[in-house]
Amino acid sequence: MVLIQMKLNLFISILILGLTPLSISGCAGSQNNLNDQQPMENKDNEQSSISETDTATFGSGCFWCTEAIFASLEGVISATSGYSGGNIKNPTYKQICSGTTGHAEVVQLVYDPELISFEVLLEAFWGSHDPTTLNRQGNDVGTQYRSVIFFHNTHQEELATKFKDELNREKVFPNPVITEISPFSEFYKAENYHQDYYEQNGNEPYCRLVIAPKLEKFRKVFSEKLKK
């Protein structure tokens, strides 16, 4: 865990960028915010049935940022933006933004455990957002932006809990890590315009001012883990 602590300490300075108040909102400030398109049919990761792959589901604020971060890692086969942890079926983005459905914006990963371990995914998760703020990342406020790990099996639950406990015991962050660790239930894929958002909308203000700087610094710290 020494390497993990060193990298996360570096990220304390990186997080300052994400915590600095901006005049621009994230997902909720999108011009598509009121677009009430239905999400694509929930397929709960068809690839997850392939024995050579595994699945992980993380929420760390606006899923545009989360998707861009994880999609850059070697061993991550797909990163899909969507919704988990709520109390209604097939929610729309408009419903999610109301903060009343209980869902979090998440990214569901299909990855090759021979190329990237769940421990490294956890390192990337906790190193790329502020897990000490309740229901908030920067200007994005609400339960849909909460820091959360939806574990798919006992192994993931144990690793996530152990990692979180160690972060708090070693005081890696100035404040306690309050990331929710909950069992995975369902995943609803977000509307098409949310998928590959950074790749498709790199010139938009939020992409240029928030995602791009965070992604650039993430790539420097995790340079050995990136796709070639």
* Residues 34, 17: Cα–Cα separation, whole Å: 28
Residue 40 per-residue DSSP state: P
Cα distances from 126 to residues 8, 54, 58, 156, in angstroms, run 8, 19, 10, 15
Contact between 64 and 128 (Cβ < 8 Å): no
Tokens of 217: 């610094």
- Give CA–CA dist 179/23, Å, rounded: 26
User: Is 207 annotated as catalytic?
Assistant: no
How far is the C-alpha of 34 from the C-alpha of 38, rounded, in Å? 12
HSE on the CB side for 83, CA within 13 Å? 28
Q: Choose the catalytic residue: 27, 62, 65, 207.
A: 62
Active site residues per annotation: 62
